[in-house]
Amino acid sequence: MSRRLNGATLFAIALRANLLQAAWNFERQQGLGWAHALAPALRRLYPERSERLERLAEHTAYFNTQPTLASIALGAAARLEEDRASGAGGDAASMARLKSALGSTLAALGDRLFWLTLRPFAASLGVLLAIAYPQHAWGAIALWCVYAVPHLALRFGGVGWGYAAGPGLLSGAFRERIESAMRWLAVLGCVVLGVALALALAPGGEPRPIAVQCALAGGLGLGLLTAQHARPSPTRWALALGILGLGMAWRNHG
């Protein structure tokens, strides 16, 4: 009798996906978290203990992708394990190929969506609201909601999609919707930054002193120049600016 996964098992996988990077390390990266997340499915598919432990150990091997979209790969892997357990096909090699293909594809898509677009957008919106409403928590609330809601929705929904559609999910409308979302978020981000900079220049309608406006413009110009190169990092540049500013303050105040 072939065993099939149910909704409760898929939900347990999604819940454990929140610990995907608990033991992140250079050698296996998300390997341990991946095996821990898939454990509910393996427990249901392999009642025989030694076979189950063998599968778990196999899944602790190297794996790495963008942590939110990893759910899609977990769902697809659970589906392949289901086929393996029922003898309908699939083996260790095909599982490794599936993980490798999905891992790199989801990383390329997910990094651009979450790290390069949604995260900067959430931060920009948060900073804009923090400047506009300095006496309220709107900035922090907006930053968290704008990122966490889609992040958790994809994390919990992704397992079911991956289980239902498998790798095919990434070739069709899903990928086009993500690409379109990235384009719109980037344009919206430009608008949010324009408004935030205007607010920084003239909070409450009162233009700040010319020295402050020049410092803002100078920082913007320097930032655009340094952003063309990954090293030194923005933090190193900002630290250098801080040390320079402190030196000037000490000299001016004699």
Partner 1 sequence: MKGPLLGTLVVGGLAALDATPVAQTLASQPLVTATLLGVLWGDWPTALAVGTVLQILAASTLPIGARTPEDYAVGGVAGAGVALMLASQAPYEHMRQASALVGVMTGMVAATLSVPVLRWQRRANEGLARWCESALRAGRESALSQAQWAAVALAFSLGLASCVVWLALGHWGAPFVERESLRLAGAWHLLQPLWLGFGFAQLLHAFVQRRLERAGVFAASLVGAWLVIVAGSP
Ranges within 76-105 binding partner 1 (CB under 8 A): none
Contact string 190-229 vs partner 1 (x = CB under 8 A): xxxxxxxxxxxxx-xxxxx--xxx-xxxxxxxxxx-xxx-
- Residue placing its CB nearer to partner 1 in the complex, 7 or 204: 204
Which residue in this structure is represented by tokens 């900035």? 139
Strand partners, 29: 25, 63
Cα distances (angstroms) measured from residue 156 to each of 41, 92, 130, 164, 187: 15, 26, 30, 14, 28
- Residue placing its CB nearer to partner 1 in the complex, 168 or 247: 247
Q: Contact between 75 and partner 1 (CB under 8 A)?
A: no
CA dihedral (54, 60, 61, 65) positive or negative: positive
Task: Please report how close the Cβ of residue 126 comes to partner 1 at its closest, in angstroms.
Answer: 5
Size of the site for partner 1 (CB under 8 A): 104
The whole-angstrom separation of Cα 112 and Cα 106 is 10
Task: Please report how close the Cβ of residue 164 comes to partner 1 at its closest, in angstroms.
Answer: 24
- Residue placing its CB nearer to partner 1 in the complex, 83 or 111: 111
Contact string 147-176 vs partner 1 (x = CB under 8 A): xx--xx------------------------
Strand partners, 63: 29
Which residue in this structure is represented by tokens 């090699």? 93
Q: How many CB atoms lie within 10 A of CB 19?
A: 12
- Of 6-14, 86-94, 164-172, 238-246, the window that binds partner 1 (rule: CB under 8 A) is 238-246
Q: Contact between 50 and partner 1 (CB under 8 A)?
A: yes
Contact string 8-47 vs partner 1 (x = CB under 8 A): ----------xx-xxxxxxxx--xxx-xx--x--------
- Cβ atoms of residues 152 and 219 within 8 Å: no
Residue from 83, 86, 96, 123 touching partner 1 (CB under 8 A): that is: 123
Residue from 8, 47, 53, 92 touching partner 1 (CB under 8 A): that is: 53
> Which residue pairs, CB below 8 angstroms and at least 24 apart, start in 25-29?
27/62, 28/60, 28/61, 28/62, 28/63, 29/62, 29/63, 29/64
Task: Please report how close the Cβ of residue 244 comes to partner 1 at its closest, in angstroms.
Answer: 9
